[in-house]
Chain A
Amino acid sequence: MHGIGVFVCHCGSNIAATVDVKKVVEMARLEPGVVHAEEYQYMCSEAGQERIATAIREKNLKGIVVCSCSPRMHEATFRKCAEKAGLNPYMVEIANLREQCSWIHKDIEEGTEKAVILARAAIAKVSLNTSLLPGESRVTKRALVIGGGIAGIQTALDIADAGYEVDIVEKTPSIGGKMAQLDKTFPTLDCSACILTPKMVDAAAHERINLYTYSEIEKVSGFVGDFTVDIRKKARYVNMDKCTGCGVCMEKCPSKKALSEFNSGLNNRPAIYTPFAQAIPNVPVIDPTQCTKLKTGKCGICERFCQAGAIDYTQKDEIVTRKYGAIVVATGFEIIKLDNLEEYAYSQSKDVITSLELERIMNAAGPTKGHLERLSDGKAPKNIVFVQCVGSRCDESKGKPYCSKICCMYTAKHAMLIRDKYPDVNVTVFYIDVRTPGKNFDEFYRRAVEEYGVNYVKGQVGKVAPQPDGSLLVHGVDLLDGKQLKISADMVVLAAAVEPSPSVRKIATMLTASIDTNNFLTEAHPKLRPVESPTAGVFLSGICQGPKDIPETVSQAGAAAVKVVGLLAKDKLLTNPCTAKPDELMCNGCGSCANVCPYGAISYEVKEINDHGIRENRRVAVVNSALCQGCGACTVTCPSGTMDLQGFSNRQILAEVDAICR
């Protein structure tokens, strides 16, 4: 192809410091087909783009190569620029001289040599490029939110308020999530339930929000704008339309040995239950692992007492299939298991508890009705020790490498509330660093120290040793005083690390959304696209993306909602034209490509083929270009070389290889 333009970017000193850009321009001029080559400080700037556009128009360029940063960064920018100047956007190639060259080389000669080769390969490729036109796909104007905690509720409310239908899928019997378990919230100490339950009611009452509680995602297919999702509605054994929520069944149920999930396992609940009194929906579920009737066929007490006739032991799981334009993941967190941190004696003593368990103990609706007492003997504690960073900031063999972010603040909150309600209780907090970035956060921590007399000790606890008299001997250190401490405590509270809800792995796999080594979902860009997954149409809200507190979660939920609304507001989406294309003449219908396609985009049809004058019916592969994501798996699998990827054809790739090896 004749009429190729090459544009080499300095990226300030990012590229120019390790690559001789003038040399790259000189060498590019020698390549076949190149009629124009120039360099500029910032090609992505308005002035830089103007240079490209001018060259395209004046020299009638047929294809361009921009030697700059990664295509992930600015391919879209340069494609748009080319399109404005009248060139098909798929006639643009990017040579990555920054991430794959200048940033990793120190020697300018080596860097330049590689830059020249990369430019040469891109020129070889662009000379075989063909103009491509994107297709269109429709947008289903309904969003799915996975997870019904504060993140999911807020996201759903914001989307629904903007005028779109939203479904929330929540795996437990009620929406509310972890926030419903909290007693008070920092830094203002409002009661968590008082600010959360109205939002739960709003979500349930909203005409555009539909709740699927006690339900899980079973299968996801499709793509941005047109996802198809199977939702498993687990059998509640209670008819939601008939139940009045009177609660008699829960009172009468004789099987009361299950541990209450809502109360962090600190007390029991019946086999038929709602997680908590303000649950939404206020319809109980029967736990089939606990119910005597479901296990042995004998009992049926709840059915006998139910005035509404709502109990239905024959109910089965039900699969609902729905279509969505966008999906928001808001799966939240769990507290880590403390098996690797046995020195804190969590499994040995009932009086060593996690902070989430303390929330339930402090809560008026909790197992102790809000009285601060030891779980072992019900006595009021006099000395309480808080241990921070339990399993956070650890080597990977011991715990989580990240800071859980919320523990410093909730520990200050707990310490303050205890000193406020029980001024005779001594509270000691062992800390490594106190991290309180956030509006009114450090002031809050200082109040705990200065006004409430909480004893903060810089140092970590080495061991908690349960004593025969029921007390707990805490071996700690005060690094500032240079003293080893042995404190006799009667309650120890561990600020255990948070981790993404384990269910998120399965969900991420179904969504083909990427996940990091700690199971947090990855953002499309850590700074500039923090609420979007790299998978188009999938958005992130709350702790599933990284540790965060309630104010941050609510802000992020709103941000995710805006992104969803921005997507649903469109009637049509342009699809990527770089999709697989079979050559029908060569296809023998073997089926290999369909087997490897992760998107289910390939099917087979029997078609009449005109093979050089011979007409016959053949089974051949057909690609649904709306489903194809252009991954290329089929092209390398095809034994006859039938499959080719538009924009990345076998010829183009081999031309690049040839150019590199020249």
Chain B
Amino acid sequence: MEASKKRQSEMVQEISGTNPLKCMKCGKCSASCPAYEKMDIKPHQFVSYVINEDVEALAKCDSLWVCLSCFACVERCPRDVKPGKIVDAARQLAVRQKGGSYLVPDEIPALVDEDLPQQLLVSAFRKFRR
């Protein structure tokens, strides 16, 4: 990524519209997540990764493609931090990096588990339905 670590962290906050500093580290997001077992970086860790300006690690992780965008974490977060939206934002950053033109269609089968729905579509649906 070209942007500085700080800028990347800010971008995630801008895209997601969340303030990770509101997090009180209760872990309710991770307790609620149905895809927790398959995640390499857990939902609650997404929040602290953004605080610690390590978006690069988020952009590379598998969790981006494991998250179901069910938004249980967004719904239940007591502090209104919305971890699911941070996952969403990190995913968008990752997607934007791919030659600047979103996902390269040929790459999709490699990234997506056949049994899982296509996250970006599902996510967009959930997001704009609200």
Contacts and interface: CB of A to CB of B under 8 A. Distances in A.
Interface string B13-30: 000000000101111111
A344 B24 CA distance: 19
Interface string A386-412: 000100011101110000000000000
A482 interface: yes
A444 to B, nearest CB: 23
B79 interface: yes
A460 B31 CA distance: 7
A13 B22 CA distance: 33
Interface in A415-459: 432, 458-459
B24 A432 contact: yes
Contacts of B37: 484
Interface in A467-485: 475-477, 479, 482, 484-485
Given A462-B72, A482-B42, A395 B80 contact: yes
Interface centre among A458, A460, A482, A484 (most CB of B within 10 A): A460
Given A389-B78, A394-B78, A399-B78, A476 B31 contact: yes
Contacts of B22: 395
A475 B78 contact: no
A207 interface: no
A399 to B, nearest CB: 7
Given A475-B32, A484-B33, A484-B37, A459 B78 contact: no
A461 B31 CA distance: 6
B76 interface: yes
A583 interface: no
Nearest to B36: A484
A484 B78 contact: no
A462 B78 contact: no
B44 interface: yes
A459 B33 CA distance: 13
A618 interface: no
A612 B81 CA distance: 73
Contacts of A458: 27
Contacts of B29: 462
Contact of B76 (A389, A459, A462): A462
A461 B25 contact: no
Given A343-B76, A389-B78, A398-B80, A463 B31 contact: yes
B30 A463 contact: no
B19 to A, nearest CB: 10
Contacts of A463: 31-32, 72, 76
A484 B24 contact: no
Given A393-B79, A462-B30, A462-B72, 13 more contacts: A389-B26, A393-B78, A395-B22, A395-B77, A398-B77, A398-B80, A460-B78, A462-B32, A462-B76, A475-B31, A475-B32, A476-B31, A479-B27
Interface of B: 22, 24-33, 36-37, 42, 44, 72, 76-80
The 6 closest A-B pairs by CB, nearest first: A462-B32, A462-B31, A395-B80, A477-B31, A460-B28, A460-B26
